[in-house]
Structure 1
């Protein structure tokens, strides 16, 4: 036969059963708060921050290759600082390297899937390459994430409305056919 628990043991069991759910809920809340705090954006290494500033200045001075060099140096100094990839993407687009820019936007999204600037920028770069449907898919994703009113959604929608830019022709593509004539 099983022995009846003592009055003290019953009181202890009752106490555990009463407060265990609250204790579990509280510990989950603390764990969630801690994980959200860990996901917050950190500051860049001071050397990387100086290189980022140098790259932004070069980009403002319409020197995209110099900006790319500075941003790549910043990435070498602080490879874990995700915003550098957005800077590299913007400089690559200014240099006309949309494929490279798309790569940098996707690297940003691999690290931070909810980055609205990366989704919008990738859509712009896709549009510049002529991939209108893919740019529209990015717009739909932005609308579902932040709605019609967020700046990234409005910017990409306006770009899609304007349509893809017409590519600049190289001199070789408009050269007349060479004609060979016989000299006397």
Structure 2
């Protein structure tokens, strides 16, 4: 009889804990309203209205911040607007949800190459190679993109001054 209040309290706690687990959605289930906003964003982007697409994707993330597709789409829109730094941040948001997302990794590499950050692009590409167990055409394509950008940068770089001597400037 002395243990009855403790037993009742323990039963109440176990009931509360188990009911919390039942009511939560699994991590893989995205809110349907968020998916609808992503579809609206896709339609706006297809129509060429990048601002409306951006707004729709941001709304999708406000509804459900676990929507990787919205992060990736925002990254793609940012790249189309020549905002590579912003695109990389959005792709990193998608990678925070799934570090093995090849679409987000591919978008990150492309944005880094467009930005001129070839060392970071190569690092991300090596991560893709590690994750891709089979022959991935995307990895080869991105490797070629990085090398072409490196060659273009080398051709447009100012010539180095030989022997580290500075040339005399004439007034």
Taking structure 2 as the reference length, what is the TM-score of the superposition? 0.66
Size of the aligned set, in residue pairs, is 127
User: Counterpart in 1 of 2:141?
Assistant: 155
SS of the equivalent of 1:79 reads coil
Please report how far the alpha carbon of residue 45 of structure 1 lies from its aligned counterpart in structure 2 after TM superposition. Answer: 2.1
User: Counterpart in 2 of 1:110?
Assistant: 96
Q: Is the 8 A contact 2:60 2:67 kept in 1?
A: no
Matched residues in 1 for 2:144 and 2:47: separation? 26
| Runs of 5+ unmatched residues, structure 2 | 1-25, 154-171
Which structure is larger by alpha-carbon Rg, 1 or 2?
1
Q: Deviations over 1:128-160 (max 9, x none)?
A: 110111111111111111047224313322322
Q: Deviations over 1:52-103 (max 9, x none)?
A: 1111122222222221111001111112222211111111111111111111
Taking structure 1 as the reference length, what is the TM-score of the superposition? 0.61
Q: Deviations over 1:151-173 (max 9, x none)?
A: 4313322322332799xxxxxxx
Q: 2:65 aligns with which of 66, 79, 85?
A: 79
| Runs of 5+ unmatched residues, structure 1 | 1-37, 167-184
Matched residues in 2 for 1:84 and 1:110: separation? 13
